[in-house]
Amino acid sequence: MIGQARVATGRRCGRAARLRTLVPIYLMVLPTVVLFGVFVAFPLAAVVGAAMLDWNGIVPVRDARWVALANFATLVRDPVWWLTVRNSLCFTGVMLLVETPLALGLALLLNAPGRAMGFFRTVAFLPAVTGAAVIGLAANFFFSPIGGPANAILVDRLGVLDAPVAFLGDRALALWTVCAVAVWHSVGFDVVILLAALQAVDPEVMAAALVDGANPWQRLRDVTLPAIWPVLAACALLTTVNSLKAFDYFAVMTGGGPGFSSTPMVMYMLRFATFGGGMGPATVPAVGYGSAVAVAIGVIAMAALLLEWGAARRFPSPD
């Protein structure tokens, strides 16, 4: 009896001790969980829920019509949606294949010692401190067919073109012009991050490579890249996320046009969330359908990130 009582008392003490340890931990975690729930999980669930409704966002949601997966079925058959997917993937591809390598190249150049480098580093970073909307407005002016500097140079100075070109108003050029502006705008941000990574490369390892007779290409491939790989992968992931949700460049520069030739996925989603988004005769918002577009964008972004993450992990670690 006494033994059983001691065991029971011991269990109670153990439980109490565990509680004393765990309760403060749970209390400390609780604000984060609540904030995550309110600002992330809840809205996400709401969007998924709204995607299954035929709802205009004006009448109370309780009066919306339940359509299950019909919005997604419509989306799969929607040719304009697939065009916007293509546009977003092209934009993301350009940012990954042009902007990230360009940033690496610039970071390597700017990693050289010398006082002048500080100036060039500042110049490289300058566009990144300006908002995308401001950059877009400036690009509108720069590429304008009416007195824009780009056309003035190409037509009047260089004589490369016979007549001004509407870079942002041409179905074949609009998307690529936006890509070019976005690359120029955001490359400085990656340069700064990669520069920091380059400066953290162990000089002794580099010195050892020099002693071993490694040429510049070998030093880049076998020492520098492995050393900065985690940072480079992080840059690529950030670029992918930002590019897939890009909206501001397109909204300011082309409005998604001409037609849908430069409409990204996010702009297409917003088309259904606002009044007159379709700009047809007397249209009302289709928030349910827009939510389905939002869910699809989330799925595509997640798939792209998983693919990229998988690819990044295959690369040998710096160790």
Partner 1 sequence: MPRPSSSSNMRLTRRALVGGSVALAVFGRGGARAPARAADGPIVWMSNQRHDQEVKEELFAAYQKQTGIAVDLQIYGDEYPDQLKLAFTSGQPPDIYRMVSPAEEVAAGWPEPLDDYLAAAPGLKETFLLGSFVPNRGIWGGRTYGLPMYAPTMRYYYNRALFERAGLDPNAPPATFSAFRQAAKQITDALRGEGAYGLILGDKYTWVWWMNGECFGNAAGAYAFDWRQGRYAYTSEGLKEALRLTIAMQKDGSLFPGYHALTDDDARQQFALGRAGIVVGGSWNIGVFVDEMKTTQPWDVAELPRPDGGALGRVQQTIGDRYTITAASPRKETAWRVLQYIYSPDVMRTMHERGMGVMAVAAANSGRSQIPGVAKVAPTPGDLVIPPEPELPTLSADPFTVMQQVVDEGGATMDRLLGDLDRAYNDALDQAVARGDLRREDFTISDFDPLTWQPRNG
From 13-21, 143-151, 188-196, 240-248, give the range in contact with partner 1 by CB under 8 A: 143-151
Q: Rounded to 5 degrees, what are φ and ψ at 10?
A: -60, -40
CA distance 279 to 261: 17
Residue 166, phi-psi category: left (phi > 0), alpha (psi -120 to 50), beta (remainder): beta
Out of 114, 203, 213, 280, which residue is the one contacting partner 1 (CB under 8 A)? 280
The distance of closest approach from Cβ of residue 54 to partner 1 in the complex, given in angstroms and rounded to an integer, is 5
Residue 65 near partner 1 by CB under 8 A: yes
Residue 278 found at the interface with partner 1 (CB under 8 A): yes
Q: Which is nearer to partner 1, 91 or 289 (CB)?
A: 289
- Is 298 among the residues that bind partner 1 (CB under 8 A)? no
Q: Which of 288, 291, 273 is nearest to 53 (CA)?
A: 288
Does position 279 interact with partner 1 (CB under 8 A)? The reply is yes
Stretch that binds partner 1, among 3-11, 136-144, 181-189, 227-235 (CB under 8 A): 136-144
For residues 187-226, which are near partner 1 according to CB under 8 A? none
List 255, 307, 309, 311, residue binding partner 1 (CB under 8 A): 255
Q: Is 76 in the site for partner 1 (CB under 8 A)?
A: no
**Contact call for residue 248 and partner 1 (CB under 8 A):** no
Q: Is 166 in the site for partner 1 (CB under 8 A)?
A: yes
| Residue of 275, 269, 314 whose CA lies nearest to 71 | 269
Residue 66 φ/ψ, nearest 5 degrees: -75, 125
Confirm or reject binding of residue 242 to partner 1 (CB under 8 A): no
Q: Is 66 in the site for partner 1 (CB under 8 A)?
A: yes
Q: Residue 70 interacts with partner 1 (CB under 8 A)? A: yes
Least distance between partner 1 and beta carbon 306 (Å): 24
The nearer residue to partner 1, 47 or 98, going by C-beta atoms, is: 47
Of 94, 132, 165, 187, the one binding partner 1 (CB under 8 A) is 165
- 61, 55 in Cβ contact below 8 A? yes
Nearest by Cα to 105 from 243, 276, 225: 225
Q: Cβ–Cβ contacts within 10 Å for residue 250, how many?
A: 25
Query: Which 3-state string (H, E, C) describes 66-109?
Result: ECCCHHHHHHHCCHHHHHHHHHHHHHHHHHHHHHHHHHHHHHHH
Please report, as residue ranges, which positions from 25 to 64 form the binding site for partner 1 (by CB under 8 A). Answer: 42-43, 45-46, 48-54, 56-64
Q: Check if the beta carbon of residue 128 is closer than 8 Å to that of residue 186.
A: yes
CA 259 to chain centre: 24
Which of the residues 78 through 97 are near partner 1 (CB under 8 A)? 78-81
Supply the minimum distance, in Å, between the C-beta of residue 65 and partner 1: 7
What is the C-alpha separation between 34 and 302, in angstroms, rounded? Answer: 24
| Position 162 contacts partner 1 (CB under 8 A) | no
Which residue do the tokens 């904030």 mark? 35
Q: Whole-number minimum distance, CB 40 to partner 1, in Å?
A: 12
By CB under 8 A, tell whether 271 contacts partner 1: yes
Q: Which of 169, 230, 298, 318 binds partner 1 (CB under 8 A)?
A: 169
Please report how close the Cβ of residue 268 comes to partner 1 at its closest, in angstroms: 8
Tokens of 45: 């669930």
Q: If you compute the radius of gyration of the chain from its CA atoms, what whole number of angstroms results? A: 27
Q: Which is nearer to partner 1, 95 or 269 (CB)?
A: 269
Using rule CB under 8 A, residue 168 touches partner 1: yes
d(CA 272, CA 250): 17
